[in-house]
Structure 1
Amino acid sequence: MTPEAFAGVLVIGEALTDVLVLPDGGEVARPGGSPANVALGLGRLGRRAWLGTHIGDDSLGKEVHARLADSGVRLTEGSVQDGATSSATARLDRAGSATYAFDIRWAPARSAVLPALAGMPSHLHTGSIAASLAPGADLVLAAVREAHGSATISYDPNLRPALLSGPEVERPRIENLVSLSDVVKASEEDLAWLYPTRAPEDVAREWATAGPALVVLTLGADGAHAYWRGGDMAVPGRRVEVVDTVGAGDAFMAGLLSGLMTRGLLAEGPGPAPGKQARQTLHRATATPGATPELASALDLAAHVAALTCTREGADPPTLAELGI
Structure 2
Amino acid sequence: MTETALVLGEALVDVVNRTDGTVDAHPGGSPANVAIGLGRLGRRVELLTWLGEDEHGAQVRAHLAASQVAVVPGSWDAPATSVATATLDATGAATYDFDLTWDLSAAAAPTAEPIVAHTGSIAAVVEPGASKVLAALDSARPHATITFDPNARPALMGAAADARKAIEKVVHLADVVKVSDEDLEWLCGSVDDGSVDALAREWARSGPAFVVVTRGGSGATAFSAAGAEVSIQAPRVTVADTVGAGDSFMGGLIDGLWTAGLLGARRRDALRAIDEDSLRLILERCARIAAITVSRPGANPPSLEELAGA
**Which TM-score bucket, shorter chain as reference?**
over 0.9
Q: Give the corresponding residue for 2:85.
A: 89
Letter in 2 for 1:49: V
Measured in 1, the distance between the counterparts of 2:214 and 2:167 equals 17
For residues 185 and 104 of structure 2, the distance between their equivalents in structure 1, rounded to whole angstroms, comes to 29
User: Match for residue 189 of structure 1?
Assistant: 182
Distance of 1:134 and 1:309 partners within structure 2: 30
Q: Secondary structure in 1 aligned to 2:80?
A: coil
Equivalent pairs: percent with the same residue?
50
Post-superposition Cα deviations, 1:110-137, rounded to whole Å, max 9, x if no partner, equal: 233x339xx9211100010011001111
Q: CA deviation at 1:279?
A: 1.0
Give the counterpart of 2:289 among 299, 302, 305. Answer: 305
Name the stretch that deviates more: 41-50 or 81-90: 81-90
1:115 counterpart SS class:
coil
Write the mapping of 1:30-41 to structure 2, written as runs, cut at 5 A.
30-41=26-37
In structure 1, what residue type is equivalent to 2:231? A
Find the partner of 1:115 among 88, 110, 117.
110
**Aligned residue in 1 for 2:131:** 138
**Residue 147, structure 1, aligned to residue 131, structure 2:** no
Whether 1:207 and 2:203 are equivalent positions in the alignment is yes
Measured in 2, the distance between the counterparts of 1:11 and 1:96 equals 27
Q: 1:278 aligns with which of 263, 267, 270?
A: 267
For residue 15 of structure 2, what is the aligned residue in structure 1? Answer: 19
Q: Aligned residue for 2:235? A: 238
Per the alignment, in what secondary structure is the counterpart of residue 100 of structure 1? strand
Match of 1:78 among 49, 74, 77: 74
State the match for 2:251 in structure 1: 254
Amino acid aligned to 1:63: Q
Question: How many positions carry a matched residue from both structures?
Answer: 305
Cα 1:225–1:82 shift into 2, 3 Å: closer
Amino acid at match of 1:299: L
The residue that corresponds to 1:269 in the other structure is: none
Q: Which runs of 5+ in 1 are unaligned?
A: 267-274
CA distance in 1, matches of 2:168, 2:79: 33
For residues 25-65 of structure 1, the C-alpha deviation after alignment (integer angstroms, 9 at most, x for no partner) is 21010000000000000000011111000111111111111
The one-letter amino acid of 1:257's match is I
1:22, 1:91 within 8 Å by CA — same for their partners in 2?
yes
What amino acid is the match of 2:307?
L
- Structure 1 residue 296 displacement after superposition: 1.7
**Residue of structure 2 aligned with 1:323, choices 285, 307, 310:** 307
Deviations 1:283-319 (A, max 9, x none): 1215xxxx13x22221111101000000111000000
SS in 2 for 1:111: coil
Q: CA deviation at 1:276?
A: 2.3
**Cα distance change, pair 100–146 in 1 and its aligned pair in 2 (3 A):** same
Asked if 1:158 is matched to 2:151, the reply is yes
CA distance in 2, matches of 1:233, 1:111: 42
Letter in 2 for 1:255: G
For the 8 Å contact 1:309–1:318, the answer to whether it is kept is yes
Distance in 2 (alpha carbons) for counterparts of 1:298 and 1:257: 9
- Equivalents in 1 of 2:257, 2:158: separation in Å? 34
- Structure 2: 5+ residue stretches without partners: none
Q: TM-score, normalised by structure 2?
A: 0.95
**For the Cα contact (< 8 Å) 1:110–1:139, is it kept in 2?**
no
The Cα RMSD (Å) is 1.5
User: What amino acid does structure 2 have at the position aligned with 1:310?
Assistant: V
Q: CA deviation at 1:165?
A: 2.4
